[in-house]
């Protein structure tokens, strides 16, 4: 069977075993496509394991720049016998199946509607390489060579990438290229190359990078001027801290003194990590941590202290599948409520919701500004998909005129001038008091506590005094509404239905909107980027009769937040919930919206008859 | 309970320290603890010690967790910065604060409930990091604020006020600190101000983690017969083995010690602590020997007091190990922290 020609518009999925070097092969493939100027997405579905379990990598090539999952697989590379059966089932009709033909393929998994391409990868590598480990690694590089031939990929791009990767180990460049060539030549000799599905050079990736959100956020923390990082390892947030450390090791070592202009502290647990962040921020250093859901659970107590004692802190929550330990290497947006209301008592937190690595970089900086301006913890909610997958984004830019917003801090001069300093007075009527740092001036001393306190900063159990502070915190939260990033809105005044979504759903929603429009269903779109929700969100919700809320969790957490924190009428919010642990696809959203509308029509028809 | 500032009465003839401040300038709010509480005596010793070393009040950072002991940070050095955090988590706040600015005096006040149960992990890890702070446990063997439950430092066989007997072995913070490598480990008694004040002064001058376990009887819930943490029992069973005299920087040692007995230890700030052994077979410079000696005596029901172990540990102090600059991180100008737009442009090449 063969399909119609499709240039730069298909999905490859590669099934391998983790710990066999397949990640290098997959990155190589994806990056060589990116360097050919073609928009591409790469997503890694990996196990919580070091070696031996099934792992998949999905590459989507999209001339139109759609970089979310489409929900369809056109070419499946089956390198894992264990998952062979389900992998074969997943290929779309008219698609291709590439497998290692060294050993016979189980006949029961035969499909007539896909083209099967067998390549004796193991045999080729066994004949040409020595050593068990090398043979396994090269087998994976070899399928990249097969794909290069089938898809008409420029082998020069691959050679160039290998040369950069192994600049310090030239022998590896040759052996990897040999493996590429083996696969490439075999495919050329035995199959009609290229396939109808193939790539063709474009010029759509200039001014773009392929970067993951954790790296971008770590880099953002460096540019924001963060100096104290307290953290505890947890998937999928660890690489954010690794990125910060590795950038800081390069960019933050004083050229003259060789001293490190940052402190990087691996804590004993998440409780200590957030404690360190609060201690450092209280003392005037920009400080942050990164964690995931289980860490947020542990940090609750201190987040409440940060809220009530009004201490800045930046927490990156790279969300993973819950509840409990859940699936640590799979993605979800399941901490929306836990983050917004972390800790006992009346607490609410400022949250930012980046949709991609580019926003991770800028929002990291914004988070520090907001935390210090508002004197409160700010949680930046990434998810595993954003944090650990490479996304194609516009080049990150930095404006050297940036000045950190340190908020209302009284320095030595300011303290010298005033008569007396009171920590929690609302002098400017925006709910935000002034703060001081230890050691600056005798007049700056005050007492920080999580117990009841007056606006003067003294201990209290007095009803009126206690309430005065608690009410001011609400005023501060109202101020936060104006300061958090505005939602992104795509609005056409003729539409009365819309999609509201958050974070990493963005790519899939945007593609779904186009697909729906092509079918005559036109929807507006709002993506929330900050909590508390501002007036723009209120207005948008008011202006639409039906709002599809697209999010990646079971319990409609975004919908709950919207109903709790805006005036929206609950019944007009309709949930499209994706919570399998895989990133949401555009097809899922299209199907959901169409199904709802069909039901709506049936209901209307029912009424009429 | 409310906040009661102490009325300030300044007597013209009160002695003044090098900053021209009197002891009154180092006091805090009125204590709301029970009359006769050991903790109040420790507070008084801290006031005396801070005055004695002429600490700038605004440079004193007072940190605590939750419990009776943790309340006391409000009762001394009102000109300092207090931080009453959450239960058992004071060490992490201290770590972060110290990372941001290493030039201040960090005094952590904790209790046996705060440090030896919920806070045991953070206590241990603060020692492992050799965090430059003075850490005091006001140890009374009992949860006072929740009305008299045993704490993890309660001795086997000790009786609660209502007659219940403790059967679980105690955690001794001194043995723990010695075991984990703390360079400054002391034990004292709230009722022995003469011993306690120089210990606090030495601890404040020590570069690295300085730990003092202060036996501090709870008059309300643990001062009865059958308790091993009562005033009477403690007085009877404490045995000073090392005396520490604190000698501020640039002041001559005036006391006359016979050689062999006196062991001067230089502190980071130029001050000295002169250790005088009261037990001739005790070696305060060797942590392993000190551990064995203390443990042996504990088994006999004897609480050794004094500066039980002291050795310089500057080389493993947090900032030294992490090569942070002399200028505190919280004072670095942004220009020193921003890699700049041009650098970002170059960095991106890796991601193409």
A438 vs B347: CB contact, 8 Å cut-off? no
Chain B environment of A252 (Cβ under 8 Å):
337, 339
Over range B289-312, report the average pLDDT.
Answer: 92
Q: Is it the case that residue A60 has pLDDT exceeding 80?
A: yes
Q: Which of A223, A276, A404 sits opposite B92 (nearest CB)?
A: A276
Q: Which of B81, B122, B332 sits opposite A261 (nearest CB)?
A: B332
Please state whether the predicted TM-score (pTM) of the whole model is above 0.90.
Answer: yes
CA distance A438 to chain B (A): 6
State residue B1's pLDDT score.
43
Strand partners, B108: B63, B135
Domain-located, residue B332: yes
Taking the Cβ of residue A184 and every Cβ of chain B, the question of whether any pair is shorter than 8 Å is answered with no
- At A3, the pLDDT band (50, 70, 90 cuts) reads low
Are the beta carbons of A403 and B58 separated by less than 8 Å? no
Distance from CA of A443 to the nearest CA of B (A): 8
Please check whether residue A281 touches B, CB under 8 A: yes
Segment A351-370 shows an average pLDDT of: 98
Q: What are phi and psi of A511, to 5 degrees?
A: -65, -40
Cis previous bond, A369, omega within 30: no
Q: What is the CA radius of gyration of chain B?
A: 21
Binning pLDDT at 50, 70 and 90, where does residue B214 land?
very high
For A241-284, what is each residue's pLDDT tens digit?
999 999 999 999 999 999 999 999 999 999 999 999 999 999 99
Q: CA-nearest residue of chain B to A452?
A: B2
* Angle at alpha carbon of residue A440, lines to A434 and A444, rounded to 5°: 45
Distance to chain B for A81, nearest Cα, Å: 33
CA–CA–CA angle B59, B61, B65 (5° rounding): 175
- In this complex, the residue of A228, A254, A449 whose CB is nearest that of residue B325 is A254
- pLDDT computed for residue A356 by the predictor: 98
Let me know how many helices (H) and strands (E) chain A has, helices first: 19, 23
pLDDT tens per residue across span B98-146: 999 999 999 999 999 999 999 999 999 999 999 999 999 999 999 998 9
Distance CA B16, CA A381 (A): 54
Percent of chain A with pLDDT over 70: 98
Give tens-digit pLDDT for A586-604.
999 999 999 999 987 776 6
Helix (H) or strand (E) holding A285: none
Q: If you ran DSSP here, which 8-state letter would residue A459 be given?
A: B
Please report which helix (H) or strand (E) contains residue A451, including its range: none
Nearest in space to B234 (alpha carbons), one of B179, B268, B195: B195
Predicted confidence (pLDDT) at residue A578 exceeds the cutoff of 90: yes
CATH number for the domain running over A488-608:
3.40.50.920
CATH of domain A211-394: 3.40.50.970
User: Is the pLDDT score of B252 beyond 80?
Assistant: no
- pLDDT reading at A110 higher than 80: no
Closest by Cβ to B125, choosing from A210, A272, A458:
A272
Q: What is the DSSP string of B121-146?
A: HHHHHHHHTT-SEEEEEEE-SEETTT
Find residue A316's DSSP bridge partners: A290, A380
Is residue A1 over pLDDT 50?
A: no
Q: Is the omega angle on the peptide bond into residue A323 within 30 degrees of 0, that is, cis?
A: yes
- Quickly state the pLDDT bin for A108 (edges 50, 70, 90): low
- pLDDT tens across A122-154, in order? 999 999 999 999 999 999 999 999 999 999 999
What confidence score (pLDDT) does residue A554 get? 98
- Compute the nearest-CA separation of B340 from chain A (Å): 6
- Residue A143 CA to residue A149 CA, distance in Å, equals 10
CA A121 to chain centre: 35
The alpha-carbon gap from A256 to the nearest alpha carbon of chain B, in Å, equals 11
Provide mean pLDDT across the span A22-50.
94
Answer whether residue A504 shows pLDDT above 80. Answer: yes
The enclosing H or E element of B244 equals: strand B238-247
Are A442 and B96 inside 8 Å of each other by CB? no
Residue B292 domain-assigned (yes or no): yes
Taking CA–CA distances from B83, the nearest residue in chain A reads A448
Contact assessment for residue A219 and residue A360, using Cβ atoms and an 8 Å cutoff: no
HSE-CB of B250 using CA atoms within 13 angstroms: 2
In terms of DSSP bridges, do strands B184-189 and B149-150 run parallel, antiparallel, or are they unpaired?
unpaired
Average pLDDT on B257-269 reads 68
Distance (Å) from the C-alpha of residue A268 to the closest C-alpha of chain B? 7
Task: Name the CATH topology of A6-205.
Answer: Pyruvate-ferredoxin Oxidoreductase; domain 3 (3.40.920)
- pLDDT tens digits along B138-168: 999 999 989 999 999 999 999 998 899 999 9
Q: How many CB pairs under 8 A join A and B?
A: 228
Quick one: closest CA in A to B62, which residue?
Answer: A447
Q: Which of A438, A442, A446, A459 to mutate to test the interface with B (most CBs of B within 10 A)?
A: A438
Q: B97: which chain A residues are within 8 Å (Cβ-Cβ)?
A: 279-280, 282-283, 438
Q: pLDDT of A202-226, one tens digit each? A: 999 999 999 999 999 999 999 999 9
Q: What is the pLDDT of residue A337?
A: 98
Give the pLDDT band (50/70/90) at residue A169.
very high
Considering only alpha carbons, which residue of chain A is nearest residue B343?
A: A251
pLDDT in tens, B30-46: 999 999 999 999 999 99
pLDDT for B250: 54
3-state secondary structure A225-267: CCCEEEECCCCCCHHHHHHHHHHHHHHCECCCCCCECCEEEEC
Residues of chain A contacting B325 with CB distance shorter than 8 Å: 254, 257, 259-261
Query: Does the bond joining A236 to the residue before it have cis omega, within 30 degrees of 0?
Result: yes
**Whole-angstrom Cα distance, residue A587 to residue A585?**
5
Number of domains in chain B: 1
User: Hey, are the CB atoms on B341 and A252 less than 8 Å from each other?
Assistant: no
Q: Is the pLDDT of residue A579 over 90?
A: yes
Domain assignment of residue B240, yes or no: yes
| Confidence tier at A605 by pLDDT (50, 70, 90) | low
The model's pLDDT over A451-500, given as tens digits with 9 standing for 90+, comes to 999 999 999 999 999 999 999 999 999 999 999 999 999 999 888 999 99
Judging contacts by C-beta atoms under 8 Å, the chain A residues touching residue B114 are none
The Cα–Cα gap between A240 and A246 comes to: 10
Quick one: pLDDT at residue A609?
44
Question: Could B95 and A276 be called an inter-chain contact, meaning their C-beta atoms sit closer than 8 Å?
Answer: yes
Measured torsion, CA atoms of residues A12, A17, A20, A25, in degrees rounded to the nearest 10: 0
Name, in order, each residue with C-beta under 8 angstroms of A598's C-beta and a sequence gap of 6 or more.
none
Dist CA A151 CA A200 (whole Å): 9
* pLDDT value for B259: 46
Range of the domain at B245: 23-348
- Chain B within 8 Å of A260 (Cβ-Cβ)? yes
Each residue's pLDDT tens digit, B264-280? 777 778 888 887 777 87
In angstroms, what separates the C-alpha of B318 from chain A's closest C-alpha?
9
A263 interaction partners in chain B (CB closer than 8 Å): 99, 318-319, 322, 324, 329
Contact A283 B96 (CB under 8 A): yes
Tens digit of each residue's pLDDT (9 = 90 or more) over A397-433:
999 999 999 999 999 999 999 999 999 999 999 999 9
Contact A35, A205 (CB under 8 A): yes
At B264 the pLDDT is: 77
CA–CA dist A311, B4 (Å, integer): 25
Strand B209-215 to B184-189 pairing: parallel
Phi first, then psi, for residue A582 (nearest 5°) are -90, 155
CB nearest to A252's CB, from B58, B99, B337: B337
Mean pLDDT lowest among B12-21, B67-76, B84-93: B12-21
B123 in a structural domain: yes
Residues of B in contact with A222 (CB under 8 A): 337, 339
Q: Which residues is A197 bridged to in the sheet? A: A6
Q: pLDDT at residue B2 above 80?
A: no
Q: What is the CATH number of the domain that holds B280?
A: 3.40.50.970
* pLDDT at residue B258, as a whole number: 54
pLDDT in tens, B35-81: 999 999 999 999 999 999 999 999 999 999 999 999 999 999 999 99
Which residues lie closer than 8 Å to A553 by C-beta, 6 or more apart? Answer: A332, A333, A334, A336, A577, A579
Q: Which range, of A6-10, A394-398, A416-420, B234-238, averages the lowest pLDDT?
A: B234-238
As a whole-number percent, the residues of chain A with pLDDT over 90 amount to 92
Over range A77-105, report the average pLDDT: 92
Q: How far apart are CA A301 and CA B67, in angstroms?
A: 16
Question: Is residue B160 in some structural domain?
Answer: yes
Summarize pLDDT for B159-204 with one digit per residue, the tens.
998 899 999 999 999 999 999 999 999 999 999 999 999 999 999 9
Q: Do A285 and B101 touch (CB under 8 A)?
A: yes
What are the domain boundaries of chain A?
Answer: 6-205, 211-394, 412-483, 488-608
Give the mean pLDDT of chain A.
95
Q: B351–A209: do the CB atoms touch at under 8 Å? A: yes
Mean pLDDT of B260-265: 70
Give A394's strand partners.
A208
- The span from the CA of B352 to the CA of B350, in Å, is 6
Average pLDDT over residues A546-571: 97
Question: Residue A363: is its pLDDT beyond 70?
Answer: yes
| CA–CA separation, B311 and A587 (whole Å) | 68
Phi and psi at residue A395, to the nearest 5°:
-50, 135
The DSSP secondary structure of A66-80, one letter per residue, reads --SB-S-EEEEEE--
- Nearest residue to B158 (alpha-carbon basis) of B345, B149, A100: B149
CA A404 to chain centre: 25
| Predicted local confidence at residue B251, as pLDDT | 57
The confidence band for A21, taking pLDDT boundaries of 50, 70 and 90, is confident
**SS3 for B306?**
strand
User: If DSSP codes are grouped into helix, strand and coil, which group holds residue A344?
Assistant: coil
A449 touches chain B (CB under 8 A): yes
Calpha distance A282→A426 (Å, rounded): 19
A395 contacts: CB under 8 Å, gap ≥ 6: A207, A208, A209, B345, B348
């Amino acid at each position: 069977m063969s399909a119609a020609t499709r240039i730069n518009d298909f999905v490859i999925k590669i099934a391998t075993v983790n710990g066999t070097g397949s990640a290098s092969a997959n990155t190589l493939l994806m990056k060589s496509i990116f360097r050919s100027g073609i928009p591409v997405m790469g997503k890694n579905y990996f196990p919580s394991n070091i070696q031996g379990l099934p792992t998949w990598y999905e590459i989507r090539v999209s001339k139109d720049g759609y970089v979310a999952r489409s929900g369809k697989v056109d070419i499946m590379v089956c390198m894992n016998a264990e998952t062979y059966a389900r992998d074969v089932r997943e290929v779309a009709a008219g698609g291709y199946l590439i497998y290692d033909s060294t050993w016979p393929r189980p006949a029961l998994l035969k499909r007539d509607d896909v083209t099967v391409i067998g390549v004796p990868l193991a045999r080729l590598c066994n004949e040409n390489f020595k050593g068990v480990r090398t043979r396994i690694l090269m087998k994976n590089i070899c399928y990249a060579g097969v794909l290069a031939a089938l898809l008409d990929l420029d082998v020069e791009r691959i050679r160039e990438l290998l040369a950069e990767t192994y600049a310090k180990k030239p022998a590896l460049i040759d052996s990897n290229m040999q493996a590429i060539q083996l696969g490439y030549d075999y495919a050329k000799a035995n199959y009609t190359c290229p396939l109808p599905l193939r790539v063709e050079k474009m010029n759509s990736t200039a001014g773009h990078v392929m970067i993951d959100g954790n790296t971008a956020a770590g880099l953002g923390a460096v540019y924001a001027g963060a100096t104290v990082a307290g953290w505890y390892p947890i998937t999928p947030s660890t690489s954010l801290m690794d990125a910060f450390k590795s950038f800081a090791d390069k960019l933050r070592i004083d050229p003259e003194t060789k001293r490190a202009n940052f402190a990087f502290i691996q804590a004993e647990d998440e409780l200590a990590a957030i404690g360190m962040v609060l201690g450092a921020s209280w003392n005037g250093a920009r400080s942050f941590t990164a964690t995931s859901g289980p860490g947020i659970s542990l940090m609750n107590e201190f987040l409440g202290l940060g809220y009530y004692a009004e201490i800045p802190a930046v927490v990156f929550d790279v969300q993973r599948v819950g509840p409990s330990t859940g699936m640590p290497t799979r993605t979800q947006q399941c901490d929306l409520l836990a983050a917004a209301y972390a800790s006992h008592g009346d607490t609410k937190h400022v949250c930012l919701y980046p949709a991609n690595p580019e926003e991770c970089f800028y929002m990291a900086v914004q988070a520090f500004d907001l935390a210090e301006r508002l004197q409160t913890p700010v949680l930046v909610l990434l998810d595993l998909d954003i944090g650990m997958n490479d996304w194609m984004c516009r080049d990150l830019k930095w404006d050297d005129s940036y000045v950190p917003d340190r908020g209302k801090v009284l320095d030595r001069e300011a303290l010298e001038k005033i008569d007396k300093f009171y920590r929690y007075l609302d002098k400017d009527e925006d709910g935000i008091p002034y703060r001081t740092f230890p050691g600056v001036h005798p007049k700056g001393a005050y007492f920080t506590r999580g117990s009841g306190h007056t606006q003067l900063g003294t201990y209290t159990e007095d009803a009126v005094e206690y309430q005065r502070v608690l009410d001011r915190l609400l005023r501060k939260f109202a101020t936060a509404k104006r300061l958090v990033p505005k939602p992104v809105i795509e609005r056409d005044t003729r539409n009365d239905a819309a999609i509201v979504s958050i974070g990493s759903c963005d790519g899939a929603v945007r593609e779904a909107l186009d697909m729906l429009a092509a079918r005559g269903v036109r929807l507006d779109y709002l993506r929330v980027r900050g909590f508390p929700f501002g007036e723009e969100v209120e207005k948008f919700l008011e202006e639409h009769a039906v709002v599809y809320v697209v999010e990646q969790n079971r319990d409609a957490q975004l919908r709950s937040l919207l109903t709790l924190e805006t005036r929206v009428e609950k019944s007009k919010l309709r949930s499209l919930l994706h919570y399998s642990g895989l990133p949401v696809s555009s097809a899922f959203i299209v199907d959901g919206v169409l199904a709802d509308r069909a039901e709506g029509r049936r209901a209307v028809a029912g009424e009429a008859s | 309970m409310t906040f009661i500032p102490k009325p300030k009465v300044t007597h013209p003839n009160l002695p003044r320290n090098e900053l021209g401040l009197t002891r009154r300038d180092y006091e805090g709010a009125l204590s709301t603890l029970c009359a006769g509480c050991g903790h109040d005596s420790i507070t008084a010793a801290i006031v005396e010690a801070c005055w004695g070393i002429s600490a700038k009040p605004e440079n004193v950072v007072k940190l605590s967790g939750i419990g009776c002991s943790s309340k006391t940070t409000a009762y001394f050095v009102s000109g300092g910065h207090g931080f009453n955090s959450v239960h058992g988590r004071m060490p992490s706040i201290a770590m972060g604060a110290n990372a941001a600015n290493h030039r201040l005096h960090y005094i952590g006040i904790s209790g046996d409930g705060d440090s030896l149960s919920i806070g045991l992990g953070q206590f241990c890890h603060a020692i492992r990091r050799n965090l430059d702070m003075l850490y005091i446990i006001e140890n009374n063997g009992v949860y006072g604020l929740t009305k008299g439950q045993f704490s993890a430092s309660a001795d086997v066989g000790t009786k609660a006020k209502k007659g219940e007997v403790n059967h679980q072995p105690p955690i001794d913070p001194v043995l723990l600190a010695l075991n984990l490598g703390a360079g400054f480990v002391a034990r004292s008694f709230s009722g022995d101000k003469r011993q306690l004040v120089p210990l606090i002064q030495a601890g404040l001058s020590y570069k690295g983690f300085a730990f003092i376990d202060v036996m501090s009887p709870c008059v309300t819930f643990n001062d009865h017969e059958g308790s091993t943490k009562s005033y009477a029992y403690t007085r009877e069973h404490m045995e000073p083995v090392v005396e520490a005299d604190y000698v501020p920087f640039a002041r001559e040692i005036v006391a006359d010690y016979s050689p062999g007995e006196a062991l001067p230890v230089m502190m980071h700030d130029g001050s000295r602590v002169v250790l005088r052994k009261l037990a001739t077979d005790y070696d305060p410079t060797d942590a392993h020997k000190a551990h064995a000696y203390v443990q042996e005596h504990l088994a006999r029901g004897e609480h050794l007091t004094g500066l039980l172990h002291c050795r310089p540990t500057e080389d493993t102090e947090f900032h030294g190990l992490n090569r942070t600059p002399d200028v505190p991180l919280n004072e670095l100008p942004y220009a020193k922290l921003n890699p700049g737009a041009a650098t970002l442009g170059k960095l991106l090449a890796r991601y193409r």
